[in-house]
Structures are given as structure tokens and as C-alpha cells.
Structure 1
Amino acid sequence: MFRRMLPASFGSRLALVFALLFVLATASALLLWRAHRGGTVEHAAAELLVGQIRLAQALADSHGDVAHLRTVLAGQGTRLLSGSDIPSPARLNTPLLQRLEAAMSASLGAPVNLTLRALPPRELVVSFVWRDTPLALALPLNDWEPALPAPALGWLLLLFGVTPLAAVLAFMLLQRPLRAVVRGIGEQGGRPLRVAVPRHADEDVVRLVQAYNSMVDQLAARDREREQMLAGVSHDIRAPLARLRMRASLSEEAELADGIIRDVASLDRITRQFIDFARVGGRGDGPPGLCGDLPAVLRRAIEQAGAGHGISLCAPDGVPAVRGDAADVERIVGNLIDNAIEYGRPPIVVTVEMAGDSVRLWVSDGGEGLGANALRRACQPFVRLDPARGGSGHCGLGLSIVSGLATGMGGRVEVGRDPCGRFRIGVILQQARHV
């Protein structure tokens, strides 16, 4: 239950800790101030009142006349009460007044009574005895009520001002290395790379970066092993297929030879898709490459995947470079052309559009196309929207390969309609100069 109440992020938990420390420091300061007021300030107040009584007694001893004493004290702002003017002692004083009475009685060696008049004029009446004559001093509260000493007030203001500033500074110093690590990982575009240890990082952050870099090294080693394995598998499978195709072409039975050649082409296509799918997400040892001459890459993709189908290319002048390897861009467009040939209708057009910081590569055809929901399903591995088409060399990996490669380049797959109303599917890639 307690863990569920805690914030999820490290920064939020750190802020909560600083807030609790600030509350604790404030409460401690208030307790210290109260203790100071209960000790030093109360003692000062008791001594001040005792001094007033002794002054009145000394003046009375020197003049021996209560009327004259009343006149002298009135000039000092203190009223002298005697006889029936003296209020009766309070039956229930506050703890503060009780402590003051005890301290003053001990200092004077005679009983002293305090009475607080809350109604205006607010006065503190101090009753004492002078030569067996009851007297009382009516002191304005503002004249004797002790204020908080300036040094203590300064320390409290310093505490309340420095504590939040120290908390903010500590929060920034602790969060800066973590933010550097998060920023370094977030800018990798799906290709985990080694992250530099941020400056001023503490030991925990250093260990975190070292563990992450160790994981990246292990993934890179596995990717190299996978690339070597895929290269060997590709050669070992395609070589027998090529021989089988050559032998079928030499067969005297034309119908049987044509069927074998078509099956070999389908098997070669499926094998190529499996190998391409296995290579999706290959990280390599460095950042993603740059595809400079994009129109040339698109022309190669059209020649490889759409030979004999009359596919046209529409690309403006000055197409910028995009983030991503040229071979991956060629594979993306090649798979989209394959789908357009297999499932769409001519004419098939490859179009390049520039919009802000992105470059959009569209493959449009005259077919019905896909909706957004169908696209999400088709981008899943081994999903065929029309199972009856699975025997033509398609295994449900084409759009999954396109989606995986586009995501690795920091792009995405989209579908829509071109200005002529034809279905189009394409990828949105980032311009290289904005990477």
C-alpha cells in the first residue's frame, strides 16, 4: 500500500524527500523557537517586570508618598494602582503567566500576582506589596511584551530561504546526469549505441551507464553473429535454387519446367523475405547511415522489384538525403512495389514528397487498398489479410519488414489517398540535416 502511494519517477520521489525534509526542518525550527521563547524570552520578561517593581519600590522609598509615586510613574507611561483599584488575583492564569509569577516571586522573595486585561486598554497588572501596602503596576502590553530577538529571526529566515534553494540545487545536480543518459538513449533512433558517462555523475549513474554499454556490446556481438549466419544461409539456400532453376530450364517438358521455375521463384521470394525479416533491427556498431541520392535508390528498387510492370517514378528536384541506409530504403520500396503488383492494379507510381523536416515515399496503385486498422494487422509478422494468396510466394512478412525498417530509421508507415483518389502506402522518413 505504501509503495503504491509513492511517485513512480526518481525525480518525483526525490522532490518528495526534499519536501519532507523541508517540513521536518520547519517543524524543528518552530520547536527550537518555542523552546527559546519559553526559556530566554520568558526569563527576560520576568527580569523586566521585576525591574519595574524594584524601580517603583525605590521611588516610593525615596519619596515616601504614593501620590507622588503615581505622578512619577504616569510620566513613564505606567499606572500605579492602590486600594480598591487593584484587581483581584486571577483564579486561573495561563501557564505562561504562572511561570512568570513563580520566577518573579523567587527573584523578589515575596509573592507577586499577574492579571491580564484583554479588553482595551490591554494591560498587564502586576500586584505586589510595599511596606505592607498592596500596590499594583498597570503596564501596557506593547511596552513589556518581548519580541523575537533579531538573531533568532534571522536564523529562521535563513533556514526558510536556504532550504528550498538547497533542495532545488541538489535536485538539479542529481537529475542532470540521469537526463543526459536518457537523452543519449532516446536519440539513438532504435539502434542501441554506447552512451558516454555524463560529467559529475555519481557512482550509481556510472554503474548504470556501464551496465547499459555492456548490454549494447553484447547485442552488437550477437548482431554480427546473426549477420554472418544469415549470409551463410542465404548462399546455402539460393545456390541449390539456382541450380534447380537451371535444370528445369533444360527440361524437355515445358509445362513441368514452367511449374518448377514458378515454384523455385516463390521459394526464392519466401527465403528472401525470411532473411530480410531476420535482418530487421540489425543494429550494427555505429549510428544509422544516410541515404543521399534518393531518386537513384528508388530507380534501383523499381528495376529490381517492378521490372516489366511499367512503374513510373515522380520525384522533384533537390530531394534531400534521409536518415537510413540506402539498402534499407531500397528494401522498403521494393516490398511496397511487390505488394502493389500482387494486390493492387496498375498504374503503379512511386512518388517523393517533401513536407517540413520529413520526406515521404509513396507507392500508389489503382486497387482498393487498406484501411488504418487493416494496416496495423498487416504490419504484424506472418499476417495475411487474404489467406488464399499465401501460395504465391507471400508469407505475410512484406509490410512487417517495411514497418520494422521504417521504425529503425525513426520513421513510420502510413496509408491514404493521392490527389487522384488512388490508394497509396508509404513511409515517412526524416531529412538527414535535421538528425
Structure 2
Amino acid sequence: MKNPLNTLFGRLALMTVGLIVLVHVTLLIIVDSERGQLDATHMQHAVQLAMQAEHDGSLAVSSIAATLGVTYVPADKAIQYGCPAPCTNTNTPFDRDLRSKLPPGSQVIFDPDNGAVWVRYAGNADWAKLQNAALPGRRFLSASLLMLALAVIIALLGAWYLQRPLHRLARASREFRVGHRAPVVQPGGPREVKELIGDFNQMVHELAQAEQERAVMLAGVAHDLRAPITRMQVRADLLPDEANRSGFLRDAESLSRIVTQFLDFARETADTSPHAGVDAHCHRHYGDSLADDALVRLNLHAGDGFNLPLVDLDRILANLIENALTYGEPPVDISTFRRNGQYVLSVRDHGGGIPAGQLERALQPFVRLDEARGGNAHCGLGLAIVRRLVRYNGGAFSAENAPDGGFAVSLTFPAAHGGNRGGA
């Protein structure tokens, strides 16, 4: 399972959210602590003033009490007037700080529901209730959590916005790497990212032009060779010597096969021929006649829903089977099945396989590994052609050495290749 934090978005989000939470917690610990001390000091002065006014019996006591928001409540009626039962000292940082500033024996109760503070001054029989003296903890906590949630949402949106152009670039690069035509990436984000995307678009455009020029040249050369090869075959038939005639015909056939591979490799789109059922096609062309000679073994379980263009299917199978019989050892296993909503076509030989260090090189066009899988009249395009044809049909190509020996090629196609699209 992929780690969601091991992405640009994940790391940006983690860094930003972590910083916001750290700042928020720091504010809660430091700023709120200092705010509590200031509130306790102000509360101390207010209580002392109210108690002194009541003790002195000043005529202005009612005015002072009203200004400070103080209500005097007899001790036996404190709970009745809202003092949190059992009306004994509470133990919050604010309470402890205020109690330390009052004479010994004073009692302080903080009501977190409405922010009221109850103070019983040392030696005084009545309670002094200061309404809305402090911000209720519940309200402060909810406001803090709301601000934290808004900050986290903004941080996530910012991280998503910053990584979006890079995500588009990474997706286009992945498409280009596997051989698909990469779309033009819309520039966005910071200046450096825009420049990177612009350079990538230009690089893809230039590579596509070079690939097209190579394909046109290759196709032109292949077409030009068709006529002389045909003349060679005609003239070979006129030779009186059987050995020479057979040799010329074999050479002409090899050249014709190479030309056909050139043309297949130069194609840039999927074939438009009618679709054929893969299982039925394999049964028809690689069934009993080859199975009797133990050259090909069929294990077909994909069903009638697995269809591909007839010409592409024939060329895929022909290249894979010829590659297996030429460079590997029979029997050649052809398997089809459906897995996770996708169709899989697998072709495997029982030869010596390909050295692990040269596997990726063997899949490149015009490359032949003579030491491991040499042959005559081949130009190293077989697997490259198959990979291109699979790509043009929306599939995925993979090749590896089988655990128990041999070389295996697996072609995976989306379920969109199912349904009735014609027959062979």
C-alpha cells in the first residue's frame, strides 16, 4: 500500500498543518497563560476594591459593585444563586493564580459554563459573584478549535493548489514514459514550476517530431524495398538450380519479413480492422495442428468478451510466438484470463530466458542479444512492435523471466475491449 504522506501534497500538507498546530498550541500554552495571569491580577484588584467598599460601608458601594459587576451573596444561599455545587475551591490555573494573590484563607470558584467567578474573601461571610469575569473555557476552546480547523483547511487547499501543476506534469511524464502520447500540460503554479512545465512540453514536442520523422523515413525505406524484393522473388523462381533458387527465396522472404516489421513499427495508430475474439483466434490458428507437435499449448479462459482488432491481434501473436520459437524452447504456452476487471494475454516459452541485467535492453527497438537469444533474418523489432501495438490498443506490456524457466510476456487490456465487436 502506497504511503499517502510520501507525496508532494502529503508532505506539504503535513508540514503546513504541523506548523499551524505547533503555533496554535504555543499560543494556547504561552499567550493564554499570560492572559490568565493578567486576568487574575485585574480580578484581584476588583475583588479587593469591592470587599473594601463593602467593609467600609461606603455610600458608593452599590455604584462600585454595579460598575465592577459584583453581586454579594450570603454564604447559605450561594448554591441557590448559581454557585457550582458543592461551592468549594476549584483547581484551574486561573483559580490558583487568583487565590495566590488574595489573603490566605480566601476561596475562589470559577464557573466554566458562564465565566462567573465566585470569591469569598478571607474573614468575610458573604460571597462576591463577578459575572462574566472570564471567558468560559468551553467557548474559548470551541473558538480555538474553529480557528484551527479553518487554518488546516486553508493549508490543505494551499498545498493542493501548489502540487496540482506538478501532479499534472508527473502524470504526463508517466504517460510519455510508457509510450503514450503525452498531452500538453497546462502551465501553472510558481514561476519555476511554469518554466519546468514549459520545458517539458517543448521536449515532448521535439521528441514527437523526431519520432515522426524516423517513422516516416523507416516507412519510406520499407516501401521502396518492396518492389526490388518482389523482383528478386520472381527472378529466383527462374533459376534452374534448385539449391540456389531455394536460397534466394529464403533470403527474399527474410528481407520481406524485415520490411513488414519496419512498416509495423512505423505505425502510429491502432488498426481499424474488425475485432476478433482472442480465444477463438488462438484456437483457430494455434490449436490442434500445432498442439499435436507439442509446439503450442493453449490455456484460454478469457471468454468471448475479450476482443482485439484482427490485424493487430494476428501480428501480436505472430511476433510473440516467432520470438519464443526462435530464441526460446517449445512448448509455447498461450494463456488468456480475466483478472480484476481486465483481460490478460500471456505468451511464454521454456528456454533459458534473458539475463536479468539485459531485460530492459532487449525490449528496445533494433536490439538483439546475440549471446542469449540470437537469430537470423531478424532486426530486433519483434517485442518493440508488440509493445507499440498493445499501447495503441490501450493495454499494458510487461515481460519477465518465469520463475521456473523461460521468458514470459503478459499483455493486459482494460475491460473496454470486451463485448461484441465483430468476429474473425
Contact conserved, 2:353 with 2:406, CA < 8 A, in 1? no
Contact conserved, 1:380 with 1:400, CA < 8 A, in 2? yes
Per-residue deviation at 1:335? 0.7
Partner of 1:46: 45
Q: Which amino acid aligns with 1:44?
A: M
Q: Does 1:262 align with 2:250?
A: yes
Contact conserved, 1:321 with 1:432, CA < 8 A, in 2? no
Partner of 1:293: 276
Cα-to-partner distance string for 1:102-129 (whole Å, 9 max, x where unaligned): xxxxxxxxxxxx6546xxx979xxxxxx
Structure 1 pair 224/297, CA: closer, same or farther in 2 (3 Å)? farther
Partner of 1:192: 181
Per-residue deviation at 1:393? 1.5
Partner of 2:314: 330
Q: Does 1:412 align with 2:397?
A: yes
TM-score (norm 2): 0.59
Q: Does 1:230 align with 2:230?
A: no
Per-residue deviation at 1:260? 3.2
Q: Which amino acid aligns with 1:164?
A: A
Partner of 1:369: 351
CA distance in 2, matches of 1:351, 1:152: 69
Alignment of 1:78-93 (within 5 A): none
Q: Size of the alignment, in residue pairs?
A: 354
Contact conserved, 1:406 with 1:412, CA < 8 A, in 2? yes
Structure 1 pair 361/391, CA: closer, same or farther in 2 (3 Å)? closer
Per-residue deviation at 1:333? 0.8
CA distance in 2, matches of 1:48, 1:376: 86
Alignment of 1:385-396 (within 5 A): 390-396=374-380
CA distance in 2, matches of 1:428, 1:391: 24
Partner of 1:22: 21
Partner of 2:237: 249
Per-residue deviation at 1:17? 1.4
- Aligned-residue RMSD, C-alpha: 5.6
Please, which moves more after superposition, 228-237 or 202-211? 202-211
Contact conserved, 2:399 with 2:409, CA < 8 A, in 1? yes
Structure 1 pair 317/144, CA: closer, same or farther in 2 (3 Å)? closer
Alignment of 1:347-386 (within 5 A): 352-355=336-339, 357-362=341-346, 368-370=350-352, 376=359, 379-381=362-364, 382-384=367-369
Alignment of 1:32-431 (within 5 A): 32-58=31-57, 116=104, 137-138=122-123, 149-150=134-135, 154-168=139-153, 170-172=155-157, 175=160, 178=164, 181=168, 185=172, 190-194=179-183, 220-273=208-261, 276=264, 279=266, 292-295=275-278, 298=281, 318-322=304-308, 327-343=311-327, 352-355=336-339, 357-362=341-346, 368-370=350-352, 376=359, 379-381=362-364, 382-384=367-369, 390-403=374-387, 405-406=389-390, 409-413=394-398, 425=408, 427-431=410-414
- Structure 1 gaps, min length 5: 1-5, 60-72, 78-95, 101-113, 124-135
SS in 1 for 2:57: helix
Per-residue deviation at 1:20? 0.5
CA distance in 2, matches of 1:433, 1:147: 68
SS in 1 for 2:50: helix
Q: Larger C-alpha radius of gyration, 1 or 2?
A: 1
CA distance in 2, matches of 1:149, 1:75: 22
CA distance in 1, matches of 2:216, 2:316: 22
Structure 1 pair 161/182, CA: closer, same or farther in 2 (3 Å)? farther
Contact conserved, 1:248 with 1:257, CA < 8 A, in 2? yes
Q: Which amino acid aligns with 2:183?
A: R
Please, which moves more after superposition, 40-49 or 398-407? 398-407
Cα-to-partner distance string for 1:351-408 (whole Å, 9 max, x where unaligned): 65455633343557xx743558679478444243655x74521344433543554466
Structure 1 pair 221/329, CA: closer, same or farther in 2 (3 Å)? farther
Structure 1 pair 187/413, CA: closer, same or farther in 2 (3 Å)? closer
Structure 1 pair 274/20, CA: closer, same or farther in 2 (3 Å)? same
Structure 1 pair 149/264, CA: closer, same or farther in 2 (3 Å)? same
SS in 2 for 1:251: coil
Q: Which amino acid aligns with 1:192?
A: R
Cα-to-partner distance string for 1:280-308 (whole Å, 9 max, x where unaligned): xx766xx99897323599479959xx99x
Contact conserved, 1:349 with 1:363, CA < 8 A, in 2? yes
Structure 1 pair 275/341, CA: closer, same or farther in 2 (3 Å)? same
